Chains A and B, each alone.
Chain A
Amino acid sequence: MDKFRIMVIDDEKIVGDMAKMSLEQEGYEVETFLNAEPALARLKEQKFHVVVTDYKMKGIDGMEVLRTVKKEYPGTTVIMITAFANLDAAIEALRGDVHDFFPKPVKIKELKESIRRALNKT
């Protein structure tokens, strides 16, 4: 069976770098993007099982990524991370059928656990 593919979108480069290193350790194939446009373009050519996206980004933001992914690729799980820890954002994300919502600073173990659960469902 193919490796699970995970996409990480965050304008903080370190988030992508660290997530990639940790997740590849678990045997996932990981691609990172600093903003949403090239990430959404990449989704058109390649199926990803999980998209981990930052909530607040310049240009297309996390909510829009969530909406697009849910509409175009309903089988793909979206996990949102945010530095902007407000309740409204979390509620909005949950309504948009987000799988999980992590405020920064992110616990990588929890993130991995969340991804694992999401992949078990499918």
Chain B
Amino acid sequence: MKIEKKLIISNIINGAFIILIGFFAFENMNLVLTKLRFVEIADDLNASFLTMRLAEKNYFLYHDRKALAEIHAMISSTVETISGVREDIIRAIGETDLNKLETRLKVYSTVVEETRTENTWDAQTESRLREEGRRLKEFSDSITHLERRRVNDIILSSKRILIFSFWAILASALLISHYISQKIVRSLRAIEKMTKSISEGNFHRIEGFRTRDELGVVITAINSMSEELAHREEQIIQSKKLASLGILTAGVAHEITNPLNNISMIAQTYEEMYAHLGEKDRREFMSKVDAETERIRKIVKNLLDFSKPKDANPSEADINVVIQKTLTLVQNMIDVQNIETMVRLEEGLPHLYIDEYQIQQVLVNLVTNAVQAMSPGGRLFIASRPGKERDSVEISVMDTGKGIPPEFLPHIFDPFFSTKGEGGTGLGLSVSYGIIKQHNGEIRVESKVGVGTTFTVELPRYHHEEKNDGQIQNHGH
């Protein structure tokens, strides 16, 4: 469900709850009003009853017959009043109590009437009159009292319900918004993690997020973007490799010229000197030709290997062998610039689980950069040694070039970042970075302007179990 929908629904639920509470409170108010109106009426009635009883007392004290007439008139007016507000009273106390009240009033009225018409005076009548008057008054008092208490109860319970509802609505609003924000935050964290990993060159999908909300849409978009990036990166690696291949081919063509010249000179000398050469000399000449041919074959093979299309194919490898092979590819480029090379490869390093050609590509990139950073006559230092972490091997390529300004250092692995002007694609180092990351390795740079630059590649050593679970995955496929 979309987050927007969720928010709307939760708001509707809360709103409905509030309306319900409001309706309930309104109803209670109405009830209270009705009850209050009754209490008002009851007060009037009580006042009438009190007056009746006062008249009753006067009658007993002074045997004033006018008092009885007064009571009679009072009863009539009370009955009239009651019938006028009958509906209100029923609503407040119910028909049963009203009937009881009316019955009592009728009984009282009858007694008063009897007393008046018989015109007798005895203790029995007196006590009946007194008794009925008292009952009437008591009943009326008790109803009034009860109603007052009910009003009080209603107000109290309304108050309690309102307070409870307040907390309930607050709690439910907090819970719902917490739930939604948790969900959003969780998805955002996943997205953040993913974009971070993409920026480091790992194009993994976000898994385990099957939301259909807006964030789900974003995650799907990022997933397809990362697939696209993985695909593009492959293309970039291949095109970058073709670009370095161009540089290398010029060098390699020259590299081949020397053994070619040697073969040619041997052949010319052989022909010219044939008569003067002994059996041993002739054999020696031919074996030299063979050795020079082998030199050419190796150079061509290296070049072919380098240009093979990228299909990450990791295998156990000795990094020193890989470095030596790379050097045959770049040696000419180094020589042309009259750069002094020092190679110090430590013996007995642990084997690595790497795609040899990809690592060669990285080394070619690093050496090319180093050579381009130096004016002729610089020094290039290439070394291999055990890594600081016990389980790795470090390869460093150090030059005495112009160095990289500190403000550029954080960007040198960014795609299309180049300080070489039109000469560079700005892809070499970013591709190298991608390759090293794919190998679960690290690539670092240290540089000082005017002193030189050192790139250090750290690769994890080969573990036998890696063979099966395939540490390096060609994620494009």
Q: Which of B258, B292, B338 contacts A83 (CB 8 A)?
A: B258
Contact check, B272 vs A104: say whether CB atoms are below 8 A apart.
no
From the candidates A12, A22, A108, name the one contacting B258 in the complex (CB within 8 A).
A12
Partner of A18, one of B254, B268, B276, B336: B268
Main secondary structure of the interface of B (DSSP, over half): helix
Q: Which residues of A contact B263 (CB under 8 A)?
A: 105
Q: Can you list, as one digit per residue, whether each of A1-28 has a CB less than 8 Å from chain B (1) or not (0)?
A: 0000000000010110011011001000
A104-B257, A105-B264, A107-B268 known; A22+B292 contact, CB < 8 A: no
Number of interface residues, chain B, beta carbon within 8 A: 21
Q: Inside 8 A of A85's CB, which chain B residues have their CB?
A: 257
Residue A73 is within 8 A (CB to CB) of chain B in the complex: no
**Inter-chain contact A106/B262, CB cutoff 8 Å:** no
Chain B, 203-215, contact with A by CB distance < 8 Å: what is the 0/1 string? 0000000000000
A121 / chain B contacts, CB cutoff of 8 Å: none
Between A and B, how many residue pairs show CB distances below 8 Å?
59
Task: Decide: B257 and A105 in contact? CB cutoff 8 A.
Answer: yes
Q: With A18-B268, A108-B268, A108-B272 as given contacts, are A12 and B254 in contact (CB-CB < 8 Å)?
A: no
Question: Are B262's CB and A12's CB within 8 A?
Answer: yes
Which B316-340 residues have C-beta < 8 A from chain A? Answer: 335-336, 338, 340
The residue on A at minimum CB distance from B340 is A58
CA distance A33 to B69 in the complex (A): 160
A100 at the interface (CB under 8 A from B): no
Task: Report Cα–Cα, A85/B258, bound state, in Å.
Answer: 12
Q: Which chain A residues lie closer than 8 Å to B292 at the CB level?
A: 14
Q: Which of B261, B264, B269, B288 has a CB less than 8 Å from the CB of A22?
A: B269
B260 at the interface (CB under 8 A from A): yes
Q: Is B265 an interface residue (CB 8 A)?
A: yes
B22 CB to closest chain A CB (Å) equals 94
A83, B272: Cα distance in complex, Å: 23
Q: Is A49 an interface residue (CB 8 A)?
A: no
B residues in contact (CB < 8 Å) with A:
254, 257-258, 260-266, 268-269, 272-273, 276, 288, 292, 335-336, 338, 340
A-B contact pairs, 14 of them (CB 8 A): A18-B262, A18-B265, A18-B266, A22-B268, A25-B273, A25-B276, A61-B338, A85-B257, A105-B260, A105-B261, A105-B263, A105-B265, A106-B264, A108-B272
